[in-house]
Amino acid sequence: MRRPRLGRSGIEISEVVFGAGAVGGGVFTGSEAARTALVRRALELGFNWIDTAPGYGDGQSEENLGRILTELGVSPHLSTKVRLGAADLDDIPAAVERSFRASLARLRRPGVTLLQLHNRVERARDAASGALSVEDVLGPGGVAAGLERVRAAGGTRLIGFTGLGESDAVHALVGSGRFDTVQAYYNLLNPSAGRAVPAGFGAQDYRGLIGAAVA
């Protein structure tokens, strides 16, 4: 499997990442032996990055990965995430650190390669959808500051965010230069993060978010 470099990090990662989420659910459904065999085979095929989150199986993905990777005696690159709720917004950096410590305990690891914000980001905070505002992320005492604190303490090498939300908002986060990665929404039905779409395109236009990240 090809291993291109991940942005400006210099890390060479498998061009396909092993997703430990609900699509397939292979890390937290089925038998324990089947879950272990699945991860072992993925690593044999050249995957060197596994992506998880506390919300995948309500912590089961991280917990099972912790057991599996310990049993196999392997340490691939890992990425996990932080999703903040309304109760976390009084002290965002502290909430980021609490969530991350809980993730590390489940993963049985001292750190990860990448820690990402999992909330949608919009121009204004939206409690109903769980979306954070640009100010919640980039402002003093915001998510970026919390992620930077975790990185400075050696818990993660890279910080990023999942690029869902209003297009203006996610472009503002990319343009800030404070993040190493954006997990961009890009597929056959909506390729707008990677290429121009025709006028009147019926879905959200992410306006070349991938190109903006490259720049």
| Partners of 82 in the β-ladder | 117
For the chain, which residues make up each domain, given as ranges?
18-183, 190-215
pTM: 0.96
Indicate whether 24 pLDDT > 90: no
Average pLDDT, the chain: 96
Q: What average pLDDT does the segment 92-97 reach?
A: 98
Q: What average pLDDT does the segment 155-162 reach?
A: 98
pLDDT the model gives residue 23:
84
Q: How confident is the model at residue 123 (pLDDT cuts 50, 70, 90)?
A: very high
Q: What is the CA radius of gyration of the chain?
A: 17
Question: If you search the block for the tokens 């965010």, which residue do you land on?
Answer: 161
* CATH superfamily, with its number, for domain 18-183: NADP-dependent oxidoreductase domain (3.20.20.100)
Collect all residues with Cβ–Cβ distance below 8 Å to 79 and sequence separation of at least 6.
Answer: 17, 49, 50, 51, 52, 112, 113, 114, 115, 116, 160
Q: What is the pLDDT of residues 103-112, one digit of tens each?
A: 999 999 999 9
Q: What is the pLDDT of residues 65-81, one digit of tens each?
A: 999 999 999 999 999 99
The CA distance from 116 to 139, in Å, is: 17
Q: What is the pLDDT of residues 168-202, one digit of tens each?
A: 999 999 999 999 999 999 999 999 999 999 999 99
